[in-house]
Every structure is written in structure tokens, then in C-alpha cells.
């Protein structure tokens, strides 16, 4: 039938190999998932500091004046245009553009040097950006710091999900890979707490504290990377088979790894035969993976999750004061964390499709409710208090839906469907598309909010309806399927089976240089 059919165990080859989750794997994945902390802290901190009056007065005085005029009862400015400034949105969105550039370079680096050193480079570059932002004396310093942060995010976002997918046992891959997104949500919550505390600092320098504290997760991943071991997949990919088998025994905690190792060797042979993964991922037999690598991260950002970045700004528009808007952001950050924990413990039970479908419907309803609330009640000076509180509640429902669906699965699904021979290229495409759409949406949100007002929420609702249909028809279920057996999923799908042939592994065509 149309949709993503569950593939029977027999269709997928071996579902479970000996061994399970070891302390070694858990600790390694914990450090790797800290890469998400970098991204999350930045998502949470940028919207908070742009709502702080001392920060606006120092760097964006025109925005500060516009905000004061629009928020005054009977003021002449539109409440939807309080923060409409291309320079301000460039400060927020520039990180995504540099992350896009970094993700393209990171693919080759990750393949040649290994996953751990890619994470190290990401953390070190992010750390440099933190220092520049905290010490900023001009808008130029702020934006240059954001560019460095983006380079760090690009490397970490490319390598960390790969590391987690390759280290995790197949039956726990969803839970452990969701650790990356869990760390994003932890980072967001920590950033909102930092913003709330920093705005109370006397002297108006609290924004420096908020931006500088991003150095903490960067230091963790830089230091932790020294103690990580690379994945068996990566070691095989770089021609170190004996070390790869020893590492596989260590990560699984058993001596009997022959079956899993044989599958990894076969996948690695395909990887070595393919010398041009960027060209090969365009071949017909990889069409399903390419579509997923592009569509899933694009959909993730088109859900409207940019609202989380601009949450303090949105709440200030609704009529909350500076402190109350930051506290409301803390509340949504806490909901985000709790809902992500729900995903961690249900993704390998309920499956990817169920969470994406339910989350899509939940977010769609929330967007319609948000647009209706603002359209009916927002005026000069904000919204009446009960309606402003209702806006926060609806925002929490929306964030919960995202956090147990498109949030974690937007990273998990693309990382687990890629065969080894094109995996770095595929992950780079995923990160690049994610950052590109993130940049476009972040750059366009405030101007569109000014021009469309509450209608913008209905635009996001329509996009959510479209992507929910896409999941229902074209995204197969992948829970519990070993990465090396993922071809069976595509062969069983009503639509994608026409693209996947029996020589999916790529050995025959790669050696002959044939295009699929």
C-alpha cells in the first residue's frame, strides 16, 4: 500500500548481532552528542540577547527605538514590526550560512581523518567564536564570531550523528542517536536560563556572559574528543581492518562479532570501490537516500521551528516585559527537553513514522491556534494578559510536537539510511540543506512577520500539512534495521523499489564505472 511499510525481519537480513550497549559506547556517545550542545546553546542564546535592551542599545539602537515606539499604548508602529531589521537578522542567521560552508568541507575531512577529529575541529572553532562574541565591541565582531560558531556547528553536525549511528547497536540506534538532539535541547534550555540570569546583571553587560558561556560545551567536546576512539566503520574506511575488529569487540562487549564484522567489511569494500561519493550519490540507485537527505532537513526547518530561536522576541511582541519574555522562553525550553526525552525512549518502540505523523498534526493545529490568537487579540501595547499566557501555552504544545518528531528525527533518519560508500557525502548534504533552509527562514522570519503578521503562522501550517503527506506516502519505517541492511527497506517500499536493484551495495557498478 502507499506509505512506508514496516519491513519484516526476514526481509532485512540479520536484525540483531551479539552484544549490546556497553559503558564504553555509552560514554563515547555522550561525548559525541555534546556536539548538539553547541548548536542548541546558540539557538537558545541568540534570540535571548537580541531581546535585551542593553544589547540593542549598544549594537542596534534603531531597533531599540522602534521597539519602544511600537510597544507603547497607542504607538504608531506595528507590533509585528518591532524587531524588523536586516542587520539584526544577519546577526542571528549568519551562523547558518557559515555552517553550510563548513559542512561541505567537513565531508572530505571526516572521511579522511575520522569522525573524532572532525568533532574536535568543530569544538575548537566554536570556542574561538565564543571568545570573539563575548569580547565584541562592534557589530562586525559579533558577526565574525557568529561565522566562527557556524564553522564549528557545521563540523560537529556532520560528524557527531555519523559517530552515534555507527557506534550504536542496531536496536538502540534511534535512542542513542537521539542523544544528539537531546543535547541540542539541553543546550537550548541552558541558554534560556543563562539569558534569564544574565539580564539581571547590573551594568548592562549580562549579554557578554550569555554569549561567553557557550565556551563551556565547546570546551567539553574539545577535551572529550581526545579520549574518543573512532568507529569500526571509519577505521575500515581508512584501511585499518585489524584495529576495526578490535574496536568492534570493544564496543559490543563480546568476542563473537564475526557476522557484524563481515557485513561491515562488505560495506567498506563498496566504500573503497567508490572513489567519487559526491557523483555516486546522484546515481539512480541512491535516489531514495538523496531525496531523504534533502527533503527531511528541509522539512525540519520549514516546520517553523525558527519560532524557538525568536521565542523571547515573539513573547516581547505579545506584550511581555524583558524578564517575563525570557522566563517564557525558559518554560518552552523545559518543555522541549521533556518532549525530547519522550522521543528518546519511544523512537525505537513506536517507530519513526508514527512520531513524525503525530508530531506534524500536533504542530499544524498549534500553528493555526497561534495565528488565530495573535490575529484576534494583538494590538499596540501587546495582547491582553490571558491571551498572552495562552500564546505561551500553545507555543509549548507546538514545541512538544516538534521535539518528539521532526526535531530528533530530522537528524536520525538521514544518518541511518545512508550506505557507507556515500555516507559522508549524504550527511554533508543533510547538514548543508539544514543550514541553508535554516539561514533562509531565520533571515526572512522577522521581515515576513512584519509584512504578513499572523498569516505567517498559517503559511507554516500549510507547509506542515504538505510534509505530513510526504511522510505518509514516501518515508518508510527504519526502526531496528541495521544500517548495512537498509537496502531491504527501500526494496519493500511501494514507490522507491523501482530505484533500488540487487547490486545496491555498489561493488559491481563502482568497479565498472557504470551509472545507475
Structural domain contains residue 11 = no
pLDDT of res. 16: 65
Give residue-wise pLDDT tens across range 15-50: 467 767 778 888 888 888 888 888 888 888 888 898
Q: How far apart are CA 374 and CA 98, in angstroms?
A: 34
Give residue-wise pLDDT tens across range 394-450: 999 999 999 999 988 998 888 888 887 787 788 778 878 988 999 999 999 999 999
Structural domain contains residue 1 = no
Q: Which whole-number Å values give the CA distances from 444 to 97, 306, 440, in the listed order?
A: 14, 10, 6
Structural domain contains residue 5 = no
Q: Which whole-number Å values give the CA distances from 495 to 1, 354, 409, in the listed order?
A: 10, 19, 21
pLDDT of res. 160: 83
162 pLDDT above the threshold of 90: no
Provide the CATH number for the domain around residue 277.
1.20.1250.20
390 pLDDT above the threshold of 90: yes
Query: Residue 265 corresponds to which cell in the numbers above?
Result: 567489511
Structural domain contains residue 433 = yes
Q: How many domains does the chain have?
A: 1
Give residue-wise pLDDT tens across range 289-328: 999 999 999 999 999 999 988 888 888 888 787 788 888 8
Range of the domain at 424: 22-512
Structural domain contains residue 195 = yes
User: For residues 157-177, b (16+ Cβ closer than 10 Å) or e, as one string?
Assistant: bbbbbbbbbbbbbbbbbbbbb
Structural domain contains residue 334 = yes
Structural domain contains residue 336 = yes
pLDDT of res. 2: 40
- The pTM score is 0.80
pLDDT of res. 13: 40
Give first-to-last CA distance, the chain, whole Å.
Answer: 26
Q: Which residues have CB under 8 Å from 25's CB, separation 6+?
A: 167, 168, 169, 176, 251
Structural domain contains residue 71 = yes
pLDDT of res. 14: 45
Q: How far is CA 418 from the centre of its chain?
A: 17
Amino acid at each position: 500500500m502507499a506509505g512506508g511499510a514496516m519491513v519484516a525481519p526476514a526481509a532485512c537480513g540479520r536484525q540483531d548481532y551479539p552484544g549490546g550497549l556497553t559503558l564504553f559506547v555509552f560514554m563515547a556517545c555522550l561525548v559525541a552528542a555534546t556536539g548538539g550542545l553547541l548548536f542548541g546553546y546558540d539557538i537558545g542564546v541568540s534570540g535571548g540577547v537580541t531581546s535585551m535592551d542593553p544589547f540593542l542599545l549598544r549594537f542596534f539602537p534603531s531597533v531599540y527605538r522602534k521597539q519602544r515606539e511600537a510597544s507603547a499604548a497607542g504607538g504608531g508602529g506595528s507590533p509585528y514590526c518591532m524587531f524588523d531589521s536586516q542587520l539584526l537578522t544577519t546577526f542571528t542567521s549568519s551562523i547558518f550560512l557559515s555552517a553550510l560552508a563548513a559542512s561541505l568541507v567537513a565531508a572530505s575531512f571526516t572521511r579522511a581523518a575520522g569522525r573524532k577529529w572532525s568533532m574536535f575541529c568543530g569544538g575548537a572553532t566554536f570556542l574561538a567564536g565564543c571568545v570573539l562574541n563575548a569580547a565584541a565591541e562592534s557589530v562586525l565582531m559579533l558577526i565574525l564570531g557568529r561565522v566562527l560558531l557556524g564553522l564549528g556547528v557545521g563540523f560537529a553536525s556532520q560528524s557527531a550523528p555519523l559517530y552515534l549511528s555507527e557506534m550504536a547497536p542496531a536496536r538502540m540506534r534511534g535512542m542513542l542517536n537521539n542523544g544528539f538532539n537531546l543535547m541540542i535541547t539541553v543546550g537550548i534550555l541552558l541558554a534560556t536560563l543563562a539569558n534569564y540570569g544574565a539580564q539581571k546583571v547590573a551594568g548592562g553587560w549580562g549579554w557578554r556572559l550569555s554569549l561567553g558561556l557557550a565556551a563551556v560545551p565547546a570546551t567539553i567536546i574539545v577535551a572529550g574528543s581526545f579520549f574518543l576512539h573512532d568507529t569500526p566503520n571509519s577505521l575500515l574506511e581508512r584501511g585499518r581492518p585489524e584495529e576495526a575488529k578490535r574496536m568492534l569487540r570493544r564496543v559490543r562487549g563480546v568476542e563473537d562479532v564475526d557476522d557484524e564484522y563481515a557485513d561491515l567489511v562488505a560495506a567498506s569494500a563498496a566504500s573503497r570501490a567508490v572513489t567519487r561519493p559526491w557523483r555516486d550519490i546522484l546515481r539512480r540507485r541512491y535516489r531514495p537516500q538523496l531525496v531523504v537527505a534533502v527533503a527531511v532537513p528541509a522539512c525540519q526547518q520549514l516546520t517553523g521551528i525558527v519560532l524557538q530561536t525568536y521565542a523571547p522576541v515573539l513573547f516581547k511582541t505579545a506584550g511581555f516585559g524583558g524578564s517575563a519574555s525570557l522566563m517564557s522562553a525558559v518554560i518552552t525550553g523545559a518543555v522541549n527537553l521533556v518532549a525530547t526525552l519522550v522521543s528518546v525512549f519511544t523512537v525505537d518502540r513506536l517507530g519513526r513514522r508514527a512520531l513524525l505523523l503525530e508530531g506534524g498534526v500536533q504542530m499544524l493545529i498549534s500553528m493555526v491556534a497561534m495565528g488565530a490568537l495573535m490575529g484576534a487579540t494583538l494590538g499596540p501595547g501587546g495582547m491582553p494578559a490571558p491571551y498572552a499566557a495562552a500564546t505561551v501555552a500553545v507555543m509549548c504544545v507546538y514545541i512538544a510536537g516538534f521535539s518528539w518528531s521532526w526535531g530528533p528525527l530530522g537528524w536520525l533518519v538521514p544518518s541511518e539510511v545512508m550506505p557507507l560508500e556515500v555516507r559522508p557525502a549524504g550527511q554533508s548534504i543533510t547538514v548543508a540543506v539544514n543550514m541553508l533552509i535554516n539561514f533562509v527562514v531565520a533571515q526572512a522570519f522577522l521581515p515576513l512577520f512584519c509584512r504578513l503578521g499572523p498569516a505567517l503562522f498559517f503559511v507554516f501550517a500549510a507547509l506542515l500539512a504538505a510534509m505530513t503527506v510526504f511522510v505518509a506516502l514516501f518515508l518508510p519505517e527504519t526502526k531496528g534495521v541495521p544500517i548495512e541492511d537498509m537496502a531491504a527497506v527501500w526494496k519493500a517500499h511501494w514507490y522507491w523499489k523501482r530505484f533500488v536493484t540487487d547490486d545496491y551495495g555498489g561493488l559491481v557498478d563502482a568497479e565498472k564505472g557504470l551509472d545507475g
